[in-house]
Each structure stands twice: as structure tokens, then as C-alpha cells.
Amino acid sequence: MFIILPDPPWCQGPIRWYTTTTMRAMVLDRQGPVESSPLQLRDLPAPTPGPGDVLVKVHVCGICRTDLHVIEGELPEATLPLIPGHQTVGMVERLGSGVRSLKEGDRVGIAWLRQTCGACEFCRSGRENLCRQAQFSGYHVNGGYADYAVVPESFAYPLPATFTDQEAAPLLCAGIIGYRALRLSAIQPGQRLGLYGFGASAHIAIQIARAWGCEVYVSSLREAHRRLARELGAVWVGGSMDSPPEPLHSAILFAPAGELVPPALRALQRGGTLALAGIHLSAIPPLNYDQDLFGERVLRSVTANTRQDGLDLLREAAAIPIRPHTQAYPLEEANRALHELKKGTIAGAGVLRVRS
């Protein structure tokens, strides 16, 4: 049975079709600190897919530091009310008109980049991550902290059978961004790579770098994170401000801490690159040109991802294979999970179990 309802504020577009089926969702009405439990569990009408879209029955959804930035207002242009989440894994339950590449029952993932214009100079040159009209899951459009989510067919990732749902979830953002950051850091097989911060993304990036034969040096604030780095093959592990014992060919800053930029640049050998992998970063202190940049050191940011990044990461992750370390929480405990992410007490990646 179908009914037409006036468009609720958490949905986009004029009027949409909804089934009488309801879904559970963690909804953000107002941005604020996660300590205040800003997400509220609600029953909402379950959406149906529009033309070119698929409806996904969500099994799990990873939690991400970007979710924290959205929820706490460090990314201020969120569409509210909002269902967060952009590391979504589930099964295609229904097809919108015109869908050709997917079928009901396919397991797919939904990542951060959800839609682009397809026509601008960035989209036409293979740099769709820079599209100014891009939409992002769990930021501009409802995400995966719910029983159901909708995504355009062309932005749904078929997932390798190698990974369980819980293992696949962090690959869809932590994995993809870590992979793009590795590429932009210009690291080459066998070289020395520094990782600053060792959360969900870094713990996947180190596994890729090790598969490439790189020596990995990790600087991290948390002892639990340093312990995991050692388990995953880091040749040296130190505190967040400690200097690696060898000059680095490349480095990636995963921690959202701008004060780490100068010491990370100084740890590079001449011609090295520091890639900034976060979507948000605190203020960078003034740089000393001679000490921090001279010698053709490169400082560059990482902005979102392309679909090709996602496809390449999933293929390589399955071939290695990557084994994400995860900690699971029930959907209704999303606030607690995010609070633990903020405190740095999750070793690896946090994942919300949506399907019981």
C-alpha cells in the first residue's frame, strides 16, 4: 500500500512517495556536542527510490570523525534535520525506474560522495571530488544511521565477498580517504611513510602501505592506538609530537590537529610530501620557510574522493586482504559510540549495527 505525504523536512524534493512502512533512524535536529546526545531515535516513513536510485536496507553503518564534525557544527552547512552516516552497508531492496547495473538482493556500500553535477570542469577531468555541486551522504542528504537509505545507482559500490558487513563499513570512508591520501602523499613502494594520528583511516592505510613494502612510522596520542600500530607492523611508534628516527619520504596527517603540521613537515626529507587527510583541521601555526618548507617539501590537502578511488580501494583491499579492526554498537547507542570516538577510546573503527 502506498500513500502520498507532504514532504517532511528531513527529505529533499517537493513531494515523494512513501510506503506505510516505518523505519528507525537517529536524527540530528540541532548541531551540538556529542556529550549532549544530540541524536534522537525516531520512527519515520521509509523512503522509496526515485528514478535512477536504489533503496538499500541497511545492515551496518560505520561511524567517522566526519560525522562528529557534522554533528558538532564544525561543518556548518548541514541540511537539518538530518540522518547522519556515510559508511553504509546493506542489501538493495527496491529499484527506481531506469536502474540497470544493480538488482534486488545485491550487497552494496554507500560512501561520503553521493552525487556530482557530471558536467563541470572537475567532473569532466576525472576530479569529481572537487565538484562544487557535490552532495554528500549524511551531510546534505540523509545517510545510513537508519533502517533504510537511498542512493543513486551510479554511487552505490558493489562490495567484495571477502569482507563481512562489519569489515566493509570502514572501507567506505576511512579506507577510501586513506587510500587517496596515500596516493597524494606520493609514497613509493619501499619508502618510509609517516602517519600522524592512528584512528580508523590510518589503521587501514598502514595495511596498504605494508603491502607495498613501505616502512611505516606512527605518531599517536593514545597508547591503545600505538599498540594497534605495532600489531599492524609499524617499524617505529611514538607520541604525537615525537620525531621519527629516520627522515620520511612522505607523511599523512590524519589527526585534525593543525599544530602537528610543522613537526610533520620537519620530519620529511627534501622533496617529501605531507598530505592532510582530514575534512576539518584546527589552526596551523605559522610556518618557518627555511625549516618547514624549503627543499621542495610539499604540503597538500585531500578533498573527498572520486568513485574511482572507491573502486580501486575495494579491489586492492580484497586482494591484500585488508582486515579492519572494528568495535560494534547498536544503532540506538550512536551517541555513546560517537562520544567514545571523540575521546579516542576506539582502537580501529566503530560500526553501528542497524539490522538485528
Strands 16-28 and 349-353: unpaired
| Cα–Cα distance measured from residue 222 to residue 229, given in angstroms and rounded to the nearest whole number | 11
Nearest Cα residue to 107 out of 50, 157, 141, 155: 157
Question: Cα 171–173–176 angle (5° rounding)?
Answer: 70
- Order across the sheet with 39-47: list the strands: 2-5, 16-28, 39-47
Return mean pLDDT, the chain.
94
Cis peptide before 321 (omega within 30 of 0): yes
353: helix, strand or coil: strand
Residue 77's pLDDT is 86
Q: What is the pLDDT of residues 213-256, one digit of tens each?
A: 999 999 999 999 999 999 999 999 999 889 999 999 999 999 99
- Residue recorded with cell 538488482: 103
Cα diameter, the chain: 70
Identity of the residue numbered 155: F
pTM above 0.95, yes or no: no
CB atoms closer than 10 angstroms to residue 35: 12
Residues lower than pLDDT 70 in the chain: 1-20, 356
Question: Cis peptide before 285, with omega less than 30 degrees from 0?
Answer: no
Query: Helix axis angle, 223-231 relative to 200-211, nearest 10°?
Result: 20
Domains and their CATH numbers in the chain: 2-172+325-353 (3.90.180.10), 175-301 (3.40.50.720)
User: How wide is the angle at C-alpha 240 spanned by C-alphas 172 and 176, nearest 5°?
Assistant: 10
Strand stretches in the chain, DSSP E: 2-5, 16-28, 39-47, 53-62, 88-95, 107-110, 113-115, 135-136, 148-152, 156-158, 192-196, 215-219, 236-238, 248-253, 268-276, 298-301, 326-330, 349-353
> Are the C-beta atoms of 16 and 47 separated by less than 8 Å?
yes
For 287, list phi and psi in degrees, rounded to 5.
Answer: -95, 145
Residue type, 129: N
Q: Kindly report the number of other CB atoms within 10 A of residue 315's CB atom.
A: 10
Give the integer Cα–Cα distance in Å for 214 and 65.
26
Question: DSSP H helical segments within 295-351, as ranges?
Answer: 307-319, 334-343
Say if residues 240 and 259 touch (Cβ distance below 8 Å): no
Sign of CA dihedral 312, 313, 318, 321: positive
Angle between helices 334-343 and 65-72 (to 10 degrees): 110
Structure confidence at residue 9 (pLDDT): 43
Give 31-90 pLDDT, tens digit per residue: 999 999 999 999 999 988 999 999 999 999 999 999 999 999 999 889 999 999 999 999
> Partners of 152 in the beta sheet?
53
